[in-house]
Structure formats: structure tokens, C-alpha cells
Amino acid sequence: MRKNQRDQQIAAGDSTSHQNNTSRPVVVLGLARSGTSVVTGILKILGVEMGPSIEDEANPQGSYEDIDFAKLHEKIFDATGSERGYWSPPPREAILALHAQFDATVRGLLSRKAAGKSLWGWKHPRTLLTYELFLPYLVDPRFVLVFRNPLGIALSSVDHTRKYRHPVDFSQALRIAHLYHAEMVRFVENYPQISKLMIAYEDVLADPTKEAAKMAGFLGVVLSDEKARVVKEMVLSSETLRVEKRKMRSFWRGKLPRLMRKWSQSIRSGRRD
């Protein structure tokens, strides 16, 4: 597809899209470990259908990452011809070159997701590199961009990948945060015609109700008192869980647990002798 043709479709929505006029897509853009799960959880409370969620131990309240988009993104990244993932992404140009190969799949997925829904959407971090494959077929979309302090993202990324086969070190985590933040800036600059709302994760933690009201106004829905209560409870409980997990990890890496493990090993060694 020629670039100018694609840009024209993006500006108005492709006339061949299968979405109906009452269906509005909501897309969350943001880095992994940046608070997108909490923001997506709020959108879900506000009535946006965000699809079936991936189970994730790092997000006890739910990752809200749509399984179908996760599977599609894995196929797209694999199709670039190398072992690539979120932490070592392929160039954006390599992904866009796959437009023809995945066009029918993208159309079909969006059609299924939109069917019978007034507000629907998805959240998956790799969308930061793939959104231009979807844009031509999204009619009047709403994009919610989630930002977080890069230092917080990097520290959380290091902790999150600690048990991976190839864990991310701090400098690599900062480079990745810089790369994906640049993609978010690129989206803002290149698509001013698309409706977008920018949310700071730190602001959500400080005042969940205020930020939920911003999202509700952006989407044209009502934030009832009951929904506001649920939002506040969800955000605060999510943060409490994170704090408690950090405390437990700090404890089990502390001096006392090391002495306990050493003592236990000496006992097992003595039994073997």
C-alpha cells in the first residue's frame, strides 16, 4: 500500500472497515511496566470492552492485555525474521513492511472485536510498534497514552525480568524506555488528527477518581459514584499489592534469609555425610 494512500485512510477511516457507525475503538498506548494495566482496568470499569486478558503473576488484579492481540503481535514480530520480542524489538520499518502479509488477519481481528460493541479496545505494549497496521481500519478511534517516569519504568523492568532466561539490566531497561517513549512522541507528532488523551501513571496513583473522570469525559461516558468507588478501590489495592510484593522480595534477599538458607544447607550437607 502506498504511503499517501495509507495516510488518507488513516485520516478518515477505511471505507471498507467492517465496524459499524456506533462502534468506537479505544486503544491504550504505553510501555510495559508503565501503569497501562491500571489505566486499562479503569477503562474497563467505565464500560470499555477490553477483551480476554492474559494471566500475569506480575499483575494480580489483571494485566488486561488482550490474548488475541498478544498472539498476533508474536506472529508479526516472528515474521520479521529474527528472534525478537518486546525487550529486543525489530525496527518499526520491518514491521510495516509486513502490511500485505497481515492485512487480512488485522481486518478480521478488528471486525470480530468490534462486533456488537459500542466501546471496545485493547492494550498490548507491542502496539507501540504496530499501530500503523491497524490505523487504516479504525473509525474515529480514541487513543489513551500512558506515561510514567522512565526511572520507575526501568527499575520495574529490571525487577519484572529478574527470573527471565535473559533478564534486562538497568542500562538496557533505560534504553528500551527511551526507544518506546520516542515512538509515543512520534505518534503524537505524526497523527494530530487522532483523538488522544495523555495520562500520567503517577497522577493516577495520586488521585484515581480525578484521572478516571478525565477518561470518562474523553470517552463521553458517565463516571457514577459507584464506578468512582470501584476505581479508587482497584487502584489503591493494586498499588498495595505491589508494595507488599517489594517488601517480601526485600525480606527474602536480606541478611536473615541468607543465614537461614546457609543453616539449612549445612544441615543437608551433614545428613549426606
pLDDT tens by residue, 43-86: 999 999 998 866 655 555 557 889 999 999 999 999 998 777 89
Residue 196 resides in a domain: yes
pLDDT attached to residue 55: 60
Residue 158 resides in a domain: yes
pLDDT attached to residue 5: 45
Number of domains in the chain: 1
Residue 250 resides in a domain: no
Q: How far apart are CA 6 and CA 138, in angstroms?
A: 12
Q: Which of 208, 244, 246 is nearest to 227 (CA)?
A: 208
Q: Which of 148-152, 203-207, 262-266 has the lowest mean pLDDT?
A: 262-266
Please say if the pLDDT value at position 32 is more than 60.
Answer: yes
Residue 23 resides in a domain: yes
Q: How far apart are CA 204 and CA 212, in angstroms?
A: 8
Q: Which residues contact 64 (CB under 8 A, 6 or more apart)?
A: 36, 37, 40, 41, 44, 50, 53, 123
pLDDT attached to residue 6: 47
Backbone angles phi, psi at 108, to 5 degrees: -65, -45
Residue 191 resides in a domain: yes
pLDDT attached to residue 105: 98
Local confidence band at 21 (pLDDT 50, 70, 90 cut-offs): low
- Percent pLDDT > 70 in the chain is 75
Residue 168 resides in a domain: yes
What DSSP designation does 138 have? -
Residues of the domain holding 43: 3-229
| Rounded average pLDDT over 159-166 | 88
pTM for the whole thing? 0.79
Residue 268 resides in a domain: no
| Rounded average pLDDT over 152-161 | 93
Q: Which of 28-42, 129-143, 224-238 has the lowest mean pLDDT?
A: 224-238
CATH of the domain at 31: 3.40.50.300
Residue 192 resides in a domain: yes
